[in-house]
Each structure stands twice: as C-alpha cells, then as structure tokens.
Amino acid sequence: MKIVKGAVAVKFGKPLYGAEALAAGALALGKRAQVFVGETKSVFSVEIVPASRLTPAALLALGGEFLNEALNHEYRQRVIQANAPLTRAVLAPLFAKGFPAVPADPLEELEPQVKADRVRDVEELLAQARGMK
C-alpha cells in the first residue's frame, strides 16, 4: 500500500484476491472514495482516490479499510467453502423433499422417438443460445 499524489495505490495478487473481494472493499468505502481497478494476468492494481483531501494518516486508514474488507471477504469465502459438507448435510434433504424427481412422460415411454426428437431439439436450441452474444 503506497500513498501517491493524495491517493492510495495497492496491488492485490491473484488468485488469492478475486474481483468480488475488491468490490466488497469498494462497497465499504462508499461515497468517501472512488476506486479504480487495473488488471494483469497475476495482479489487480487498485487506486483509491478520496472524495476530499486527506492527511497521510487518514489516507492510510482509508486504504487499510479497503484492505481489511477485501481480506474479510476472501476469508469468509474460505470458511464457507470449508464448511460445505455441513451445508450439504442440511440442504440436501430439504432439496430432495422440495423437488421430487419429475415423473416420466408417458408419451416418451410409449414412443421412444418422441424423447429422441425432444433431446435433439433441446440440443439445437442450446447450441443457438451459446452462439448468441
């Protein structure tokens, strides 16, 4: 973290910090600053420009708040990922109960060609959708 011409410049290494972490940092600062982000393959370069002129100590605090918020976001994601088995244990039965398997279509059961045609149609539509920009 460096103070350059009344703004704060920080480099965040990828993939440890993601774009969402930087967004969380910017959100924490709100209207107190503008945040500009540059990106290379391995680094995010962030410039934090305060809305009003600040002392070096206040700039450090502003940049530090951004750092801590970004770290908070990343660490929270790690904790959520690490606890995924517990989340699955709670949610899986709920989803299994709430969304029972769709019963087979009797038309497809009687005439296998209907199912084959539908699969082909869906694949064509998906291919069209993927080609759209």
Partner 1 sequence: MAGSAVVRFASVDEQAFLGAAYALTADAYALVTRKGKGGSVELWPKRKLAPKALAAAFRREYANQRLRWALTRDGLGLRAETLRRALALADASGGRAEAPQAALTPEQKAEIAALLAEAEADKGPRDPLGITQPWEDSRKER
Q: Which residues bind partner 1 (CB under 8 A)?
A: 1-3, 10, 12-13, 16, 60-61, 63-65, 67-68, 71-72, 74-75, 78-79, 82-83, 85-86, 88-90, 93
**In residues, how long is the chain?**
133
* Helix and strand counts by DSSP (H, E) for the chain: 5, 4
- Tell me the H-state helices in 16-99: 19-29, 56-82, 84-98
Query: Given the complex with partner 1, which of 89 and 127 has the nearer CB atom?
Result: 89
Q: How far is the CB of 21 from partner 1 (least distance, A)?
A: 11
Cβ pair 76, 44 in contact under 8 A: no
Residue 65 or 108 with smaller CB distance to partner 1: 65
Beta carbon nearer to partner 1, 14 or 118: 14
